[in-house]
Amino acid sequence: MVKRYFAIDRSAIHGLRVEIRLTRPAPRLEVGDSLVIFEKQPDDIYFTGRSMVLSARDLTPAIEDAGEQAATRLVEMSEIIKLENPQRLTVICGSLERVYRFLDPQRHFSHKIVTLSQNDYQTITDAEIHVSRSVFRKLFTALPLAVKAEFVRRHIEAFPLTSEESIHNYTDLAHLLLRFIQERMIEPLRMLATIAHLHQDSTGKGLPDLDNLYLAGGSDPESKRVQPIAIGKTCVALHDMLKANRLFLAPEGELSLLEEALQQLRNADVETENKKWNDPIFR
């Protein structure tokens, strides 16, 4: 019998029983299935325990559900074993094969019961965090599409692709992306911030408004023609974009994605970074 793995919302468990309405997308749990328990909190989703299906049977008669016949399945579980190291989804999401919405991983666990791969089950229960993939995917997802394309174009020879053109190793890519962001984004942002700061300090000294300042030497990405960059407009647009995706800016008391990435790489366990993946570049 094929071993199967699922994550189940703690709120769906009553005692050690779960009643599942057999409507899509609810999976049909069977005896022997392994379960990971997750709990939804205001700040995050936490994986807190594990269990196993001891018995499962359909209740009769079938019940009406929006005009369709839908049975209810009664599942009885073994005692829940608390995980030695409970896991936060936002911390471990980059290590899960199921997750590809790295800036909103909670969407992958919106249902009461979620199917997991064996690798994801072991990652959660054994606390195997694959830092390089987490760092790369979170930062790469936060970048504008044009910047993503430029990174791939510049470093395509460094992508360790499989025959299906999928990434199978993130160790070098994570460091490449951090250097790219430093050179391609952080330095220009610092320059714009310095110009804006100096201009604000000179307010009332006959200088034009910031919105009327332009930086020569820019180019229009559509027409490819050289044209000045509107500093005021660019600063506002960049601030709004970065604030929205937490790449450089974060709410008070939280780390930005870039700060989080640097911290994670410093603390990475080298042995867990050799895991092979099968991810499309643009996912």
- Return the pLDDT at 11: 94
146: tokens are 């044009």
- Return the pLDDT at 124: 92
Phi and psi angles of residue 271, each rounded to the nearest 5 degrees, phi first: -65, -30
- Return the pLDDT at 48: 95
Q: CATH 3.10.590.10 residue ranges in the chain?
A: 5-129
In this prediction the pTM is 0.64
Measured distance CA(141)–CA(184) in Å, rounded:
16
Measured distance CA(194)–CA(231) in Å, rounded:
11
Measured distance CA(258)–CA(264) in Å, rounded:
10
Measured distance CA(178)–CA(35) in Å, rounded:
36
- Return the pLDDT at 93: 85
Peptide bond into 61 cis (omega under 30): yes
DSSP string over 252-277: TTS--HHHHHHHHHHT--GGGGG---
- Return the pLDDT at 271: 45
- Return the pLDDT at 234: 63
CATH 3.40.710.10 describes domain 5-129: no
- Return the pLDDT at 17: 92
Distance of CA 5 to the CA centre of its chain: 21
**How do beta strands 113-116 and 5-9 pair?**
antiparallel
Per-residue pLDDT tens digits of the chain, which is 283 residues long: 578 999 999 999 999 999 888 776 678 899 999 999 999 998 889 999 999 999 998 886 555 555 556 678 899 999 999 998 888 888 788 888 888 888 788 999 999 999 999 989 998 998 777 777 877 887 788 787 888 888 888 887 776 555 555 676 777 788 888 888 777 766 666 666 666 666 665 555 555 566 666 656 555 555 556 566 666 666 666 555 555 555 555 566 666 666 666 666 666 555 455 566 666 665 5
